Amino acid sequence: MNIWDWVEKLQNDLADAGQAHSAELIDRLTAEIVDMKPEQADALLPEAKALCKTLENPWLEVFVGHWEMRNRLGNKAEGEKALADAVALFEFAHRKETIDCPQSICVTQDLAACYANIDGPGWVNERIEVCDETLARINPTWNCFQCLSNEKAEALLDAARPAEALTYLQGQQESIEAAGEEVGDSIFEIRNRILIVLGRHAEALDHITAQEAAVEGMEWRNISQPRTLLKAQALAGLGRDEEVWETLPPLPDLTLCDHISWWQAAYPVLLRQGERNTWHLASQLQRALAHYADSGSYRTVIELAEFGIRLAILRGSAWSARRYLVQARACLPKLRRDLGASALLDKLSGEIDALPNQNDLPVPAENLLEHLAGENNSRDPEKEVQWLLLAVRQRPEDAALLDQAATALEACGAYDDAIALLWEYVETHTSQEENLAYNLLGVLMNKGDEAGVLRLAKLYENSVPLTAHWCLARLASSRDDWPAAERHCADLLAISPASRGARRLHAHSLMQQKRFAEAAESYYTMYENTEQDKSVLWDYMVAANAAGDWSKVREAAKVLEMELDSDEGPIEEDWGTVIVRYFEDGEPVDYYAQQTGPVSARIVENARGNWRQHVADWIVLDANPVFPVPEDEEELKNFTRTFTHVHTLAQGGFGQGWLADGAYPGNESFEQMRGQLHSRGWKVWIHSGTDYEVHDSSASLDLPGIYFTVAAPETVPPLEIHKALSETTAAWEHPLCWLRLAEHCELDPAPHFEVIERYRL
Amino acid sequence: MPFLRRWAQIKGVRLTELGTEQGNRQLFTLADLPADQQAWLETHLADGEKLIAARFHPEVLPLVVVPDRDSELKRRLEADASDKQISQSALRLARQFTAKIDAEYDERLYINLDNPAIQTLLRAMTEAPAQAARAARLLKAFKVLMASRSPHGEKAPNQALADLAASVALIVEH
């Protein structure tokens, strides 16, 4: 049985049983994973696993387990870190109750893929055996046939047998085609990769360009991103360096698993373009290196470290080169087979040793900071860090030097080194408040080292409780544990009432707990303690407005010299159009709104589809704009300020927004329809732009198009909206479609499909 | 879950999601104990389980026994029956992993260092070792009785009930 047929049946059963949400969860989970959004997928997994238990469905458990592995092995490039779970899943997928689940084949592949991540070349023979044995049990009509073929071709690549890999993959492709199946994009991806390894860059580029040209509509990121990176590799192989940079996505936009591919493309170009080989890029390489090391992807660490070391040598940084070398050497014992890795690292070590001596300070240690501050050229933390560390060794009690050294280490991505350096000082300086303890707290928080933060709090618990409370407050806020953050801030403020950071976090914790009136008080105390800093007054105004205390909003507005039309009661004026940003399931969602006061607005745009409806909600905004106001006058003309939603004062009470789409009937007809719907108290919002067109295939004619949503009060049945739309558009020459609404009302969807087809919607 | 998330957001309350890395970390962290304390707890509280010091919620729960999944996995994968159902090459790969598992313990005993009873016990261990040993006997009985209520638990052994009765008698006498 095809796994997807089975999943679809399960989803239909769930939907029929009134569990449409659970059915949708399965789709969302797989969609996030193929769209390479590992964090979003992680957020859905606990619920998906709970669903397996609730339904007592072992096949679903295998399915979810396999997709979790795709996320971990594919998107996060986990190696040894995932091994225990991959083995446990493999065992579970071969029990009596699961052995017949088609996805247990995929789980076998997951196990091989996990070993490939740990040490691909080292586990080549075992991986090939697994692929051969498993492929022998299935035929090309199975989805797994393509995945397993890829897995084997990759193993052959890892075995340095690229020509054989190519022949093998071509054979598999022919088998798939002969079976009447469509060859998937992943087969082409591996083929392109093999061509690049074979040095046939132009051929690979031709294939990729053709694939790009053939893309129609939306494409999953796990197809497009690797292809783009392979394109950059092919261009690099052809020496088309500028096009490489045009093609490569910015590193921070990439899922971590693809960082190695990015470096494979960039490395040869960086060797040729020394000016691009910067400390800043090196700190990003360190980030990826740390990720692969933490994930137990040991062979990748060594490959990436080689790039890092050679580039560091070119920059003249023995310090960076040695750090990469240490990290790579730590992976050597974890490899299944050495295969020349030790010799490579020994050779690189020799090259680092041959660099000019870097153990001399340019000035005496006590003058180093002054010397660095005085240098005219831009600061280079990688260059400075070696001097700073040497100076710290001579002057271990010099807090300013330590501060600079730790900052430079952090800039280079050497968080562990920065933490170790700061601990060395902090552990022996606990009798009084130390700024370096806060620096350490900052690095620990950045790294997510919660145990370290607890240890730091413990260290100062008795001697400097203020420091301990601040550590615990910061930790609590990072865990969204707002009552604890509030408590620790309150304890801290009892000792040090003027502490601005604690006051701000205290007020913020109250805001997060929706205790707006208390938050307003806290902000006001802060305002008074900070010599009446007006920026604090804005936060005060937001809190007071959320608390519904209009007199306080008015007082603050007066101090901020804002003119209001009225003197008392709620403020509801027309302050122009703004955009309000909500965060729903971690995603930003923006809606147009009319600003009604200094920090309040009413949403005027309908939400579409399944998004939560906010239209007509009266809300409080954060006072800080999300985007800065552009300086360019032209840009300013089309600029609408965006603010984050803080609190809803009153809900509009509208239900789901239903989308209608089709040819524009002309102003008069459209306004007539809109007027009729408005007269019922409903909301109509046009989402399409002025350039939106539809194509009437029956007349081969391009027409102006429109798509808009209709939202009615929650109490109005959707069928009534359908009827109203039918009536108000009945006389239009070109019919519209509102498929989702029709489906929801269980009406015949055929007329809507006809419109979609006729106008190519 | 989305409902809970939304509700927690609207109400301004904290939601800890078990099963996520961050959620688990908030509720459960491993801790270090000096070797002598570890040894003492093993002697007085363990019945062949692997004793692990940790901090977890709720703080009122002094200890908890859970099956050692790794040992269970090793047993299952190394059983002869596995050979019949699983691809041999893949099984060899899986066994590469299980070969490294120390399957000495079938269960793990997590001791909650945030629990007041455990904290008192650790203090009393050096200050009043005899009383500490008697108190540990009560905790051990509690452990056995609690484990017996779990879906996989055995019936409470008589020893635990006897220890419980003896502890009550001691408390009444003192």
Contact by Cβ (8 Å): A510, A542: no
* Residues A489-523 pLDDT 10s: 999 999 998 898 999 999 999 999 999 999 999 99
Read out DSSP for A114-172? HHHHHHTGGGHHHHHHHHHHHHTTS-TTSHHHHHHHHHHHHHHHHTT-HHHHHHHHHHH
B82 pLDDT band, cuts 50/70/90, is low
Least CB-CB distance to B19: which of A46, A133, A479?
A: A46
pLDDT on residue B21 = 63
Spatial distance between the Cα atoms of A47 and A519, rounded to a whole number of angstroms = 34
Indicate the residue of B12, B89, B96 with minimum beta-carbon distance to A133: B89
CA–CA separation, A489 and A207 (whole Å): 60
By Cβ distance, the residue of B2, B11, B97 closest to A87 is B97
Determine contact: B25 vs chain A, CB below 8 A: yes
Shortest CA gap A53–chain B (Å): 13
Residues 6+ apart with CB under 8 A from A579: A590, A591, A592, A593, A640, A641, A642, A643
Sign of CA dihedral B115, B116, B119, B121: negative
- What is the rounded CA–CA span in Å between residue A80 and residue A334? 9
Q: Which residue is closest to B13 within chain A, CA to CA?
A: A513
Minimum CA–CA partner of A97 in chain B: B85
On the question of a cis peptide bond just before residue B58, with omega within 30 degrees of 0, the verdict is: yes
Measured CA to CA, the distance from residue A660 to residue A638 in angstroms comes to: 27
Cα separation, A464 vs A431, whole angstroms = 7
Give the span between the Cα atoms of A604 and A592, in whole angstroms. Answer: 6
The CA-CA-CA angle for residues A98, A187, A101, to 5°, reads 10
Contact residues, chain B, for A115 at CB < 8 Å: 93
Q: Do A450 and B25 touch (CB under 8 A)?
A: yes
Q: Cα–chain-centroid distance for residue A456?
A: 30
- Tell me, what DSSP letter sits at residue A70? I
User: Number of Cβ pairs closer than 8 Å across A and B?
Assistant: 89
- Alpha-carbon torsion (A508, A509, A513, A516), positive or negative: negative
Low-confidence ranges of chain A (pLDDT < 70): 1-2, 375-377
Contact at CB, B90 and A99, closer than 8 angstroms: no
Task: Indicate if the pLDDT at residue B96 is higher than 70.
Answer: yes
Q: Is B81 on the interface with A (CB under 8 A)?
A: no
C-alpha span between A200 and A678 (Å, rounded):
64
Number of neighbours of residue A697 by Cβ within 10 angstroms: 11
| Residues in A touching B5 (Cβ below 8 Å) | 585
- In this prediction, residue A528 carries a pLDDT of 87
Structure tokens at A107: 């789980």
3-class secondary structure, A646: strand
Whether the pLDDT of residue B155 is over 60: the answer is no
**What 3-state class would DSSP assign to A590?**
strand
- Name residue, tokens 């007199």: A551
Residues 6+ positions from A298 with CB-CB distance below 8 Å: A79, A80, A118, A119, A292, A331, A334, A335
A91 neighbors A58 (Cβ within 8 angstroms): no
H or E element: which one contains A579? strand A577-584
Q: For residues A351 and B158, what is the distance between their CA atoms, to the nearest angstrom? A: 71
Burial class (CB in 10 A: 0-12, 13-18, 19+), A52: middle
The CA distances from residue A337 to A231, A304, A333, A362, in Å, are 31, 18, 9, 44
Residue B18: pLDDT band by 50, 70, 90 thresholds? low
Asked whether residue B152 carries a pLDDT value surpassing 60, the answer given is no
3-state secondary structure A319-337: HHHHHHHHHHHHHHHHCCC
Ramachandran area for residue A433 (φ above 0: left; ψ -120 to 50: alpha; else beta): beta
The closest of A445, A388, A453, A451 to A421, measured between CA atoms, is A388
Instruction: Tell me how far apart the alpha carbons of residues A430 and A443 are, in angstroms, rounded to a whole number.
Output: 18
- What pLDDT does residue B22 have? 66
Q: How far is B77 from chain A (nearest CA, A)?
A: 7
Helix (H, G, I), strand (E, B) or coil at A495: helix
Interchain contact, B93 vs A111, CB within 8 Å: yes
Per-residue confidence band for B154, with pLDDT thresholds at 50, 70 and 90: low
Q: What's the CA gap between B42 and B52, in Å, rounded?
A: 9
- Cβ pair B76:A91 closer than 8 A: yes
Max CA distance (Å), chain A: 89
Residue labelled with tokens 């490579």: A344
Which residue from A minimizes the CA distance to B14?
A481
Q: Which residues pair with A661 in a beta bridge?
A: A707, A737
B63-67 sheet: strands from edge to edge: B28-30, B50-56, B107-112, B63-67
Q: What is the pTM of this model?
A: 0.81
Burial class (CB in 10 A: 0-12, 13-18, 19+), A586: exposed
Give the side-chain half-sphere CA count within 13 A for A502: 24
**What integer pLDDT is reported at residue B80 of this predicted model?**
66
Question: E strand or H helix at B64, and its extent?
Answer: strand B63-67
Please give the full DSSP string across A5-48, using - where no structure is assigned. HHHHHHHHHHHHTT-HHHHHHHHHHHHHHHTT-HHHHHHHHHHH
For A130, the closest of B11, B70, B87 (CB atoms) is B87
Question: Please, are residues A47 and A67 in contact by the beta-carbon 8 Å criterion?
Answer: no
Q: Which residues of A touch B96 (CB under 8 A)?
A: 126
**DSSP secondary structure letter of residue A713:** B
**Residue A376 pLDDT:** 64
Length in residues, chain B:
174
CA-to-CA distance for A744 and A729, rounded, in angstroms? 20
**Closest to B21 (Cα-Cα) out of A71, A416, A52, A118:** A71
Count of C-beta atoms within a 10 Å radius of residue A727:
11
What per-residue confidence (pLDDT) applies to A737?
Answer: 94
**Bridge partners of residue A600, in order along the sequence:** A597, A620
- Sorting pLDDT into bands at 50, 70 and 90, what band is B87? confident
Inter-chain residue contact A46 with B26, CB threshold 8 Å: no
Residue A233 near residue A261, CB atoms below 8 Å: yes
**Phi, psi angles (nearest 5°) of residue B151:** -60, -30
Q: What is the ipTM of this complex?
A: 0.75
Task: Locate the DSSP E strands across A611-732.
Answer: 618-625, 642-650, 658-663, 683-686, 693-696, 701-711
Separation between Cα atoms, residue A126 and residue A121, nearest integer Å: 10
Residue with tokens 């080194």: A417
Which residues in chain A are contacts of B14 at CB distance < 8 A? 479-483
B107-112 and B50-56 strand pairing: parallel
Nearest Cα residue to A670 out of A590, A716, A736:
A736
CB A65 within 8 A of CB A91: no
Cβ of residue B77 closer than 8 Å to a chain A Cβ:
yes
User: Residue B59 pLDDT more than 70?
Assistant: yes
